[in-house]
């Protein structure tokens, strides 16, 4: 069983619009509503692959109840942590040319009691978990050290833990040696404090995160692919995509099936230990 932890889940509303014109009334051509948050996306990908997953979520108000209902409809078990504040609602506007504009709400502020209940719920639910995936930003009220505390508790319980977060929360958690961290290119550049222009730059940055405590680093590089760096070496993977509709949730989903060379279908994905270190990233990160 894969246990996911999303400290700041959301109810995501997406509207398809012909174009985004400021100050005008825009009529949507389509709409959808989804449970959101990085850990939620991991659970959805795991469930889609036919595996059991439990999502630990602090939920409050009508939006929180709807998130739980939507996940239940997808066959995903929810370990609900009741909170006084309402779960945030995010808005995405998808234009016909593929441009996506997102408005993410801050979410509720968790009290000290709610924070402890969240940690305790993770502990109680982790008994039968093969992995715990902790993902996303921290809501108001949680200190950057909160993930570090969670990693320490997970390891004390004998669980393996994967962490997908950024900024001070990522750096603080590294001292507790998470088994896997999954930054994107921008988050990786921020963690090492310098720009990344090539795949080689990304590999070097990933190696530095391992020196800081990460067991393995799975870095998503957008359209360029992904690099995996662990104690055995470095791998680079890329996949053919004929038409890109959206990259939202792509990195989250990849964590749910963290690749090893033997796992991947060579007809669809190219994986090599000959990492193209000189390959210039299509979107270099400053």
**What residues are annotated to the active site?**
252
Distance CA 57, CA 34 (A): 15
What phi and psi values does residue 4 have, to the nearest 5 degrees? -115, 150
Distance CA 248, CA 98 (A): 12
- Distance set, CA 216 to CA 5, 41, 254 (Å): 19, 21, 14
User: Which residue do the tokens 């969240």 mark?
Assistant: 118
Q: How far is residue 144 CA from its own chain's centroid?
A: 17
Q: Pick the closest to residue 54 from 89, 82, 86, 81 (CA basis).
A: 81
Q: Pick the closest to residue 227 from 175, 190, 279, 178 (CA basis).
A: 279
User: Which residue do the tokens 């997808």 mark?
Assistant: 74
Q: In what order do the strands lie in the sheet with 88-95?
A: 30-36, 10-17, 88-95, 100-103
- 276 is written with which tokens? 């193209």
Handedness of CA 229, 231, 234, 238 (dihedral sign): negative
Other Cβ atoms within 10 Å of 222 Cβ, number: 16
Question: H-type helices in 175-273, by residue range?
Answer: 185-192, 199-211, 250-256
Distance CA 148, CA 271 (A): 32
């Amino acid at each position: 069983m894969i246990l996911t932890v999303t400290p700041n889940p959301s109810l995501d509303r997406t509207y398809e619009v012909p174009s985004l014109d400021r100050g005008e009334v825009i009529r949507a051509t389509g709409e959808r509503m989804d449970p959101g948050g990085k850990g939620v996306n991991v659970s959805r990908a795991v469930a889609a692959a036919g595996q059991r997953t439990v999502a630990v979520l602090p939920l409050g108000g009508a939006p929180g109840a709807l998130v739980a209902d939507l996940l239940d409809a997808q066959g995903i078990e929810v370990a609900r942590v009741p909170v006084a504040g309402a779960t945030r609602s995010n808005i995405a506007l998808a234009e016909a040319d593929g441009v996506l504009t997102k408005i993410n709400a801050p979410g509720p502020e968790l009290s000290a009691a709610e924070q402890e209940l969240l940690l305790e719920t993770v502990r109680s639910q982790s008994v039968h978990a093969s992995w715990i995936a902790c993902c996303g930003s921290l809501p108001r009220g949680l200190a950057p050290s909160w993930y570090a505390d969670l990693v320490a508790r997970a390891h004390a319980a004998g669980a393996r833990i994967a962490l997908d977060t950024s900024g001070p929360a990522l750096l603080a958690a590294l001292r507790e040696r998470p088994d896997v961290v999954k930054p994107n290119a921008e988050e990786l550049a921020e963690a090492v404090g310098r720009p990344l222009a090539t795949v080689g730059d990304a590999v070097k940055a990933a190696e530095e995160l391992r020196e800081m405590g990460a067991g393995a680093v799975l870095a998503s590089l957008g359209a360029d692919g992904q690099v995996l760096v662990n104690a055995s070496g470095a791998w680079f993977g890329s996949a053919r995509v004929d038409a890109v509709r959206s990259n939202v949730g792509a990195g989250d989903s990849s964590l749910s099936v963290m690749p090893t060379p033997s796992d991947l279908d060579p007809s669809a994905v190219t994986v090599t230990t000959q990492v193209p270190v000189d390959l210039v990233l299509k979107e270099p990160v400053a």
